[in-house]
Every structure is written in structure tokens, then in C-alpha cells.
Amino acid sequence: MAENNSPLDIYEIQKTIGKGGGGTVYKALHKRLQKEVVIKQIHDSVREEERRNEVDVLKNLRHSYIPAVLDYFTIDGVSYTVMDYIEGESFQSLLDRGVKFKESQVIKYGKQLCEAVEYLHSRDIPVIHGDIKPDNIMLKPDDDICLIDFNISGISEGSTAYTTGFTKGYSAPEQEEAFYRIVEELKKKRGTAATAANVQTGSGNPGSDETEVLSAGVSDETEVLGGNSADPDATEVLGSAVTDSDATEVIGSASSYDSDATEVLGTGTPAGQPSSLKGEVHGGTNDFSELPKIPIDKRSDVYSIGATLFHLYTGTRLDKADKKVLKAGTSEGYLYILNKALQENPRNRFVSAGEMLKALNSIHQKEKAYRSMVIRQSIVRIVLLFGIVAGAGLISLGLQKKQEEKEALYASYIEQMASYDPAGSEEGFEEIYQNAVGLKPDAIDAYEQKAFFLYKRKAYEDTVAYVDEALQNSSVYETERVAGLYYVSGNAHYALDEYKEAADDFRNALKYDTKNPDINGDYAIALAKTGDLSGAADAAAKAEEYGIADAHLYLTRGEIEFAKGNYDEAEKYLRDCIRLTDDDYRKMCAYITCGKALTAGGGQEDLDKGIEFLNSGLSDVGIEYKGYLMGLLAETYIQAYSLTEEEKYSEGAIGSLAEMIESGWASYSTYNNIVILCTNTGRYDDAAKYIGLMEERYQDNYNVYKRKAFLELEVQKAKSEKERDFSKFKEFYEEAERLFKEQAGDKQDPEMDLLRDDLQVLKDTHWL
């Protein structure tokens, strides 16, 4: 019985929410705070002091997608945790009701799940959840997720954490295998006669280095390789009829719980489901100090994330069928991410949830040819895995093995290049690239990866030059693969505002990949930018015919309508693109063109609408694309200031340009514009500061000294006549003139003409 003044006195138990392998969960009301909470009565699977240490770590967690742990206490040997009550419904409940999820929805929830798990993994004392599955993820009314139930979570000790259970169909193979291995060891050690029924240690070949879970096929169904040959609906649990008091039992047998229940190493009888906790608690009577635990790490959670996303998208648990229905429209990027997350060998998975999050964030990048290449690599590895090598019957086993090793090594180089951080060392990437090319100089994969790497680094001119160089050797490539190189080059030209060259590259790409909807769509946009509206319309029609995604189609139509001058129609299409797309790049493109459509009238009201719209976009695109929107926003502020000379616009422009500089998004025009604005609005100290930053970046550029001369002229003009001294102005002008003659060639610069006139006036009026 619980004593008076029990910690439970402050709670009013409202109902039992659920029961699982690790405990019973109740909804309760904190009487004093009038706050709804969840109380979990924890089964005795770990020592109480260990549980308290873990809860102390969990109580410090604060994340949007994780409930707060509010309290922990023990009564009569039974432990309880108190957490925030999360409104909503578990994904398992939604799946049970037959709710279907689109790919875009699953990707959104996957990003949130990875963000939450990466937060757990990146704590000073990392937390490995250990039991990620649809039943432990809530979908809140605001359509965001919340990861719950840390009952078997492991608190890391070095690089490894330990847990006490697993869930069939979601836990990583090594977690499940360790569970059954420990059970067998305990039975031998304690001499129990308990036997295991229907125990499987995972599907596929545990010793294999690569396990391909999915492959991109041409049919409407995608094979799951390595499926269990046993009845897929069988619930794999240990027998619960154990009479020996020392026997090890798994809490949560098929007779007690759903087949998705978490299997937990423990002993004794699971707690019941009392309508009121007080007076009904069950005391723990066994010593668990010597109970072995299952080692898990970050990659175990990665596998569980993959299995969960698989279930959400297919509607079927990973271990319950040999085939999963994946529609032909499933993106290659999504298949690739599931493949990598669900590798049986932990070394071949994403190294962390953060790496998986990066992959999900870039899943819809418009380089479709690149994504296709990644999937093709996966298919090649599947072929190698099963030993289906062309001409295998004609060569010796030794040569075949050597070739397979070569292919595997090459594939690993390509994998490293594909996941290389574009902000990382260029020398590090180049070393991997040279290794790959040295191994297979006639294969195109490494060349595609380097082009894409340069593009991701925003080294657009280098990208174009590299692709031009690589294409000189195009005879060694499979002809259809050349489309990828042309496509990356086209995108680089587009980023440089070289629309004719971009259109030429897209046209060449289509020679090899005629029915690619994304290339047709981007070709239409490039043609619209060049003014070829008829050609743009034809390309857009083909893109639609070949199945371009709605968001991309709306972007294409919006760009064409904008080029026609139909700004209202353009705005409608572009807003639809923004609403539908998960691709930050396309979203950024839509925001920019839509912003230009809104301000096309040039009036103050138009400019105000554009400013409001672009400001909203800054919080709606990824950080890597904010600089583009910020640049257009600054231009719009400047346009409004030129029209009205109102201070709010100059302040907005200066603020936007300053943020671009601080965030590393600045170009020469950014510095130039902020210096001009600060000079013209009398902010001479700020102007001098930004000229200094400009000089650090653009040393010995005549424009720097030109700006210094203009600023010095204004500074002296603001002084009284007695204090004026234009000698510095003359010094800056002469240096600007000298550098201009060296650097400009035949170029004309009207601002230099103005400085010459100002110098002559000062001489004529005897200031110099």
C-alpha cells in the first residue's frame, strides 16, 4: 500500500493510456497546477539507482519534439516517471485505423524524428532511445511529432549505451540478436528449463558487409531483399510458461500484448492496470545487479528510424512481408535513404541521426540525375552481393572475388564523395576523388560526384570549367550517363544568370535522358529567361507529360508567366509551388520570382508587398538559401528608398546588407551598396567600417579607393569651411585612378568620371 503523503497524492489518475513490455502508462492531472501529465509505472527491468541516474539525464532534455520529464519517484520498490501529456495520437494508432501517409508527409516527420534523436545523441551524456517505433511517436494536432517512451533508453558510457530489450520489426538486428543471446546465456547460467519458441535472430545474412533492403525497380513494387522465410505474421516471443522462480522471463508475451510490444529482459510478474495507483502497486523483489544488458549505439537508433519511416510509408511493418508496395513515383532519394538506414551491418548505415537528417533535407535537390546515379550504385552493389557478375562462369573464382572487392572499394569512394560536407576541406575531397579515378578511370561516377561537389560549394564557374574538361573524355562514358554532367553544368550556368548557356546544357542533357521531367522543367525555365516563350511552353508540356512533380510544374509555369509579364498569374503559380514543395532550392526560386512579380509595378504599395513577402520567406527556406532572398530584399528596400527617401527603407536595406555580411553571404555588390547607403545617409563611421571590411576582401581593387574617395568628399563637405581638408580625397582619388587604368582596360566607369569632375571643381575653387 502507498503511504499517506505519497508523491502520488498530488496527482489525480484519470485513465490508463496503455501497457507495454516496460510498464503501464496513465493519464493524470496535477491537482495544484491543473496540468495534464503522463505517469508511467516502470516494470522492474533495471536497478532503481540506474533508473534514477537515467531520469536525471532525461529531466534536462528540452526539445520541441520531446516531452519534458517532470518528476521521478519510487513507492514500495516500484518506480514512476512523470512527463508532459502530449495531445494527439500515436502513429501506430493511425496505422491501425488505416491512415495512409504520402512521401512528403513521411519525409517531414522523418526530419523531425531525426532532429529529436540527434538532439538526444548530441547531449553531453548522449541518450540512445533504443525503442523508436510508431507506437512511441505521437502526431500532435499541429502536425508535428513528439518522440515518447524512454523506458528502455540507454545512457551512453563512452561510445556505447546499454538497453534491456528490443521491438520486433523496428530494433536493429544487432539489438535483437544480443537480446536472444543474453537470454540463452542466462538460461544456461541459471540452469532453467525454459525454452524459446519461434525465435529468429534476424533476416538475411548477418555476416554480410552489405544488406540491400530496397532497390529501385521498374515495376510498381519494390523487392525487400533478405526477408524472413518464416511466416511473416508470426510473433517472435519467448515462451511465457516458466515455472522456475529463477527463470528469466520476457515481460510482454504474445498472450499479453500486441506483437509490436517491446521485449524486455526482466523477471517476475508484470504490474497490472489498476484504476487508481494508490494501494495497487506491486513491489519489486528481485536483484538485477548482475543482469546483462544489450549494447547499442547511435546507429541502432538510425535503423529504427528507417524501419519506422518504412512502415509509415508502406503501411506494412518491415519484417512482416517479403514485398512492400512502393509506387513507381517514389523518389530515388527516399529509397536511397531507407536503403542506407536499414543496412544490417551498422558500419554501412548513416553514422548518426544528424547525417540522416542531412540526407532528408537534401532529398529533393533538383539534381535528379545525381540521385539516380546513387540508386544505380545501390543496384550494382545488390548485383555484386548476390554474385551475379557478367561472365562469372568464364572466369576463376579468385578473379571474380578480386573484381568484387574492386567494385566494393570504388562504391565506398563514391559513397564518401556523395556524403562529403561541401563546407569541408577541398583537399580531403580531392584525395577521395583521385583514389576513385585511379581505381576506375573509365567510370563516370567519380566525375559526376566532383561536378556536384563543386556545385554544392557554389563554385559555379569552377563547376562549368570542370564539366567542360570532363566531357572531353565522354567517349569512355555510358552515353546515357552524360546527362548528369550536362545537368549539373546547366544548373551552374543558371546560378551565374547565364541562361542561354544553361538552356544549351539542359538541351544536351535531354539528348541522353529525353523523358526526364526535371530536366525538361528546368529547360523550360531557362528558355523563359532567354525570352524563348514558345520553346519554354513546349518544354513545360513535355515535363508535365513525363510526370513532373506538381510543385516543380507550378514553378515552371510561374517563371513562364513572369517572362510574359503576366505577374498576377505568375504569383498564383509560384505561391502554389511554395505551398507544395519540400525542396528548399525550388522554394527559394519561387520566392525570388514571386517577389519580383509583386514589385513589378514599382509603386510604394507594390514594394511594401514585396518586402513583407520576402521577409516571410526568410523563415521558410533553409539557411543555405537565405542569402539569395536577403539580397533581393535589400534591393527592394533600396528601390523603395530611392522612390520615397523614407528612413525606414534605408534602415531596412542597411540591416539586410549587414546581415548578409555577418552571415557570409556577401558579394562585392553587397559591400558596395552598404557603403553607398551609409555614405548617402550620413552614417560615415559605418561607411568607413564596411569599406575596411571591403578592403580586407578585395585588396587593391580600384573600387575600394573609389568608395573611400566618395566617403572622404562627403565627410569634408559636412564640416565647416575652416575645417575642410580635401587632401585625403585627392590621395584616394589618385590611387583609384591608378588602379582603374591597370584593371579596367577599355571599361568605362561613370563614377570615376564624377570623381574627376569633383577633383576639377576643387581645383577650380582653390580647395586643392
Question: Which residue numbers are catalytic?
Answer: 131
DSSP-derived 3-state class of residue 574: helix
CB 249 within 8 A of CB 263: no
Contacting residues for 293 by C-beta, under 8 A, at least 6 apart: 154, 162, 163, 164, 182, 265
Helix 623-644 and helix 584-598: axis angle, to 10°?
10
CA distances from 644 to 254, 596, 630 (A): 75, 19, 21
Sign, Cα dihedral of 336, 553, 546, 328? positive
Helix then strand then coil, % of the chain, to nearest 5: 55, 10, 35
Dihedrals φ, ψ of 38, to 5°? -115, 130
Q: Which residue has the cell 512502393?
A: 326
| CA 416 to mean position of chain CA atoms | 17
- Write a three-state SS string for 41-110: EECCCCCHHHHHHHHHHHCCCCECCECCEEEEEEECCEEEEEEECCCCEEHHHHHHCCCCCCHHHHHHHH
CB 366 within 8 A of CB 522: yes
Alpha carbon distance 755, 752 (integer Å): 5
CB 446 within 8 A of CB 440: yes
Sign, Cα dihedral of 114, 120, 124, 125? negative
DSSP-derived 3-state class of residue 303: helix
Q: Which cell goes with 258?
A: 500486441
Alpha carbon distance 389, 366 (integer Å): 32
Q: Which cell goes with 758?
A: 569633383
CB 146 within 8 A of CB 65: yes
For residue 72, the cross-strand partners are: 81
| Of the candidates 575, 654, 561, the residue with the CA atom closest to the CA atom of residue 609 | 575
CB 755 within 8 A of CB 711: no
CB 376 within 8 A of CB 340: no
Q: Which residues of 117-148 are buried (b: 16+ CB within 10 A; e: fewer)?
A: bbbbbeeeebbbbbbbbbbbbbbeeeeebbbb
Q: Across the chain, how many H-helices and E-strands are there?
A: 27, 17
Q: What angle do CA 135, 67, 363 make, to 5 degrees?
A: 65
Alpha carbon distance 121, 699 (integer Å): 44
Catalogue the E-assigned strands of 291-427.
294-296, 323-325
Catalogue the E-assigned strands of 133-223.
137-139, 145-147, 154-155, 161-163, 165-167, 221-223
